[in-house]
Amino acid sequence: MKIVIIGSVAAGTSVAAKARRNDENAEITLYNADYDISYSICGIPYFLGGEVDELETLTPRSAEWFKKRYNVDILTRHEVTSIDVKQKKVSVKNLETNEMIEDSYDTLVFATGATAVTPDIDGTDLDHVFQVRTIQHTASIHSYMSKHNPKKVTIVGAGFIGLEMAEQLKHKGLDVTILQRSNQVMPHLDKDMAFRVEEHIVNNGVNLLLNEEVASISAQSVETKSAKRIDSDMVIIATGVKPNTKLAEEIGVQIGSTGAIQVNHKMQTNLPDVYAVGDVAESYSVITGEPIYRPLGSTANKMGRIAGDVITGGDLEHRGILGTGILRVFDLAVAHTGLSEKEARSKGFDIEVLHNIKPASADYLGGKPLVIKAIADRETGRILGAQAVGENGVDKRIDVLATAISFKAKAEDLFHLDLAYAPPFSTTKDPVMYTGMALDNALKQQNRLMTPEELTERIETGEKLQIIDTRAAKQYEASNVKNAVNIPLAKLRVEAKELDPDIPTVTYCNSGVTGNAAQNVLRNLGFKEVYNLSGGNKNYQSYTKQKDK
């Protein structure tokens, strides 16, 4: 068997490694137009910021290493220029010598990756304007910074790479501005969670400009379409990537609705003996079964292993993804998995939404607040998605939730998880368990929730509501929900006699626990419609700040 793989970063090399483990006799060749193989794109910002000392650390494996380890031939600076599907042949150009060679295959794999998107604006070709996608890009940025010592940088785009670059370059002492054309950072977060990240970025000295689009770039500045001029010694373009499908399209490979190559669960395309993996291929949602495109190194490695197994007679299948992602921005971790509230509503789900604000570990050991937003399907009780923001414990909570969602867990199942507990690491009711408890109660209509957005909408329509602040008077005076009256929990049983049990009532505290206790009191006293404000006053104040911007 002769396997030809086009591309040799994460996915392509994973195909080769798994195929070799399964079949010692297969002839495996990888062609790569770039200089480097199997490198860590995600590690690039940390080299530029100085957390990684040597660029070579991000390229731990060479073509020679693969030849010795796997008996695989990797030819860098070799570009596949055309493919004859009928004859099963590829034409390859040596980019160093311009020599053309021809090769044959039994199985062909597209691992051509993705290319950084370049906005169609004047100035992107200037010497101080860079993209962050390859090791060569990285070397160019590092060289420019060493020679010119830039003081002001503008980053175009507020996704993962844009925010990671902002953090790292700020740590290097640069004056950082981020331009984002939409109204929030991190498009896969809901706005109410993204706002927490935005506040944190601004509090760390970054100039964040939302709803701003670049009009042009000059040698000294960036001009926006709203006529803002931002002085810039260096510009980083981080506006996303697009899959490299051109070569595949030329031979009739089917492109999916996401713009990436359409594949089945075995990574096969519509053409016989032709596969696609990694950032050039689309995946599908574990929740909806619909195609999605989330180019990540972890997914690329998984796809590559599956294809390598299938090609050599194995039975692995791709089970889909949740689009799980995490990043660090300054001392804040931000993560998401599954569907956001916005996505779930757009897919037609009738959902329950919970904001859970709890310390990630015991208060008396300095546990820092952790905000979890979770979404569940009212019809089935199934968890559909979660987002988390906090300084500690975000990674393990989002991984637990991603695992639960992958195995179709319901909200009630989260409470029954036997999670590790000790005061330095968690609380007796872990935030994941509490998320499940509160969501399950809401789903069963025992303890209904109301988000700050819904409460605001109902207030603005003039609906008659009783809003009860259950905190101490000093806390109420410091900040409170519009139209709320202050009845501390200790006084509620007596003062409830002055309330109307037939009017919809909303209780709240700082983050939810005391509000929930007050909700139970009123329900047991015969109040017909009682809600606990999701995330309490903390979440409400965050929402109103976001709404007013």
- Which tokens belong to 502? 């037939």
Contacts of 90 (CB under 8 A, 6+ apart): 4, 6, 31, 80, 82, 83, 84, 102, 103, 104, 105, 108
Whether 509 sits among the annotated catalytic residues: the reply is no
Strand-pair category, 2-6 with 27-32: parallel
List the catalytic residue out of 42, 95, 326, 499: 42
Contact yes or no for 111/11 (Cβ under 8 A) = yes
Closest listed residue to residue 212, CA positions, set 174, 242, 241, 239 = 239
The DSSP element (H or E) to which 50 belongs, if any, is none
Terminal C-alpha separation, the chain: 61
Alpha-carbon distance values, 447 to 56, 356, 488, 523 (Å): 55, 14, 19, 9
> Which parts of 262-296 fold into alpha helices (H)?
none
Rounded Cα distance between 76 and 197, Å, is 40
Q: 329 and 164 in contact (C-beta within 8 Å)?
A: yes
Reading the block at residue 454, the tokens are: 């819904």
**In the 3-class helix/strand/coil scheme, how is 338-372 assigned residue by residue?**
ECCHHHHHHCCCCEEEEEEEEECCCHHHCCCEEEE
Q: Which residues are known to be catalytic?
A: 42
